[in-house]
Chain A
């Protein structure tokens, strides 16, 4: 079981986490199609990271009318079964962390990359790390 550990105060705003997330999942370059989002603060310098906590009782799953969100028992990640997803967007507004994103009509959610999160691997400043839960 894996979890992301995030220290926003260490985030330098390089966005490597976002670019690799879209690259490894979708094979494209699209920052807005990343399941982790950096909120850049150019003038205060205090960036923040919006990321999925893989909640014990996830609201995204609770509100999903299609029961499309299921647990990967190996990593502990909640994942979307896109064959079942009806693209209603309820999960987006239900997430208390704002950590589910829409790309077009498609919901995006962190799946912990099968246990080796690419965002954590790409973060040179330890703002995002991955560890055993």
Chain B
């Protein structure tokens, strides 16, 4: 292998013909340098217009990146791309990602990724070990939960095997089905569990002991050490969260890495070793609770005020994992929607059972029914809340309050998502990110809104930075203080939307944790701008990448390669789905309602001003080199990114320049 960090081969499996081939990863390097970047290239080449998520020809593209699972800290993630079953109003090309230890194991097994097409005649799983792959019968696994599938395979082959599996929801092509590994590492958004299910593919089991080369071992080791130490104790917030003493004592709460390489005490990841079950009385449960799963028990005095309690909430969360259902959709979209409908007097029962969000029995009835497509109402919900609302003809207005676009519930947007605290003008950037994406964009774009809010004194009264400090750091990163100024309105909001766009690609391609990178703010430097050794925070990823791979890129090269991915993804959307500015603007009405939180410096709730926002969109399109009228890349732009052939295919769908 010419470059360090890569396993060197891609596995191509056609389940219809049962053919297994190996392709050199070098075919895509260095330009399409891993994960999301490589997936975009494959998607452009191999997904023709008219392909649906469940068509056998629709490829499921599972890729690691060069950093994945190496000594690079926070690097254990894997990306999943392809036609999304969750996408709305159309199934279109999108992406997801997951942590755990599966991706690194795949690399040790000799593969940087797997591209799966076709549909097996009966349920199967893939068995991959040290450069070999076989298609195995999964008849005994079909119908089993994600936990049981892993345990059965690990019992058969060994404890050091890693398994990526779907549950009943994926088997039944539920559009909000996940595929996952361990107890909480899921490719959650996108419905890729359903895509796996449509291929009759239950699981992918991997084990490997092959080494990977490192281009500059000493330099790479030192850079990893510096980055790991700089990032200790903060991931979007300046303070280090502590364990909850009561939960440590009662439920065995502990830190557990949600992905290989994690080196922070993260807000998002807690493991519980002994939680008494409520529904399965007498049982003690264990498992991980990451991110939004902490919402299952309900919160006091807020919008999410159901009262399941910790034990039942934990049990229901683990049940959702095992059945293979998307936590974000359920907790931030579906349950708030049902709560609205009940409070509005529109609906009191579903499929004969009273809606009672305080009852674990109701949640179990709901989740089991969705994953098994049982009952009229729960079957409808198997299509996701947005499609269900439409097919049932119920609560469509409430859906518009909770789902900004593309079939995904709100996320760091200041409106439908009330759990994340973000006020105007910061959610203007979120609105822009939502506008130009194909999914909930925030899962790889926490770097702006979450970072600023978390580092502000509003969210971190003791250790947070004052607005002047935040503005000064912002000026270094974005070129202008207005980009993070709390009273800057719409000024300077296009640039962060543009910059974090390519940073998201970088994270999903290398791969590294979204909650840690890019490093921007710090408590360890005088000016609060993150640095380690002679490296600046936003360059950390590039230093790790170059010393590992030997690809001699500077910051601009890596940014350019990452932006090129956005151009190719957009070109694909234009070619296959006619994506245009009108689609992008469809997010605007969602943001026209008054925000949930109030900026204390403005002291009144703000709603999006569509005309001003459209000017921000103009600025964004100009930065991207897209025609302002149509939102499509121009010929000039595609040439700049050496995508001339792709431009030719787009023909008269694009203009020469804006």
Show the binding face of A for B, using Cβ within 8 Å: 9-10, 12-16, 19-20, 22-24, 26-33, 39-40, 42-46, 118, 121-122, 124-125
Contacts and interface: CB of A to CB of B under 8 A. Distances in A.
The 10 closest A-B pairs by CB, nearest first: A27-B217, A30-B211, A124-B263, A19-B71, A14-B257, A29-B212, A45-B271, A42-B182, A12-B257, A32-B209
Interface in B147-162: 147, 150-151, 159
Contact of A16 (B71, B159, B217, B265): B71
Q: Which of A9, A31, A39, A122 has most B Cβ within 10 Å?
A: A31
B255 interface: yes
Interface string B114-156: 0000000000000000000000000000000001001100000
Contacts of B257: 12-15
Interface in B203-258: 209-214, 217-218, 220-221, 224-225, 228, 232, 252, 254-257
A131 to B, nearest CB: 19
A46 B209 CA distance: 23
A23 B214 contact: yes
A44 B273 contact: yes
Contact of A15 (B182, B183, B228, B261): B261
Contacts of B273: 44-46
A10 B151 CA distance: 24
Contacts of A14: 257, 260-263
Contacts of A28: 211-214, 217
B228 A16 contact: yes
B293 interface: no
Interface residues of B, number: 45
Contacts of A20: 71, 221, 224-225
B264 interface: yes
Contacts of A40: 101
A23 B255 contact: no
Nearest to B108: A31
A42 B182 CA distance: 6
Interface of B: 5, 69-71, 73, 101, 104, 108, 147, 150-151, 159, 182-183, 209-214, 217-218, 220-221, 224-225, 228, 232, 252, 254-257, 260-265, 271-273, 286-288
B150 to A, nearest CB: 7
Given A24-B221, A29-B71, A44-B273, 11 more contacts: A15-B260, A19-B69, A19-B71, A19-B261, A20-B71, A27-B217, A27-B218, A29-B5, A45-B287, A122-B225, A124-B228
A118 B217 CA distance: 14
A12 B260 CA distance: 9
Contacts of B287: 43, 45
A122 B225 CA distance: 7
Contacts of A16: 71, 73, 228, 261, 263
B71 A45 contact: no
Nearest to B71: A19
A12 B257 CA distance: 5
Contact of A23 (B71, B151, B232): B71
A30 to B, nearest CB: 4
Nearest to A25: B217
Contacts of A33: 211
Given A27-B217, A28-B214, A31-B104, A12 B225 contact: no
Contacts of B211: 22, 26, 28-30, 33
Contacts of A22: 211
30 contacts: A10-B254, A12-B262, A13-B256, A13-B257, A13-B260, A14-B263, A15-B104, A16-B71, A16-B73, A16-B263, A19-B70, A19-B71, A23-B214, A27-B217, A28-B214, A29-B214, A30-B108, A31-B69, A33-B211, A39-B159, A44-B286, A45-B272, A45-B287, A46-B273, A121-B225, A122-B71, A124-B228, A124-B232, A125-B255, A125-B265
B198 to A, nearest CB: 27
A27 B547 CA distance: 12
Q: Which of A22, A121, A122 has most B Cβ within 10 Å?
A: A122
B151 to A, nearest CB: 7
A32 B211 CA distance: 8
B183 A43 contact: yes
B336 to A, nearest CB: 30
Contacts of B255: 10, 12, 125
Contact of B263 (A27, A43, A44, A122): A122
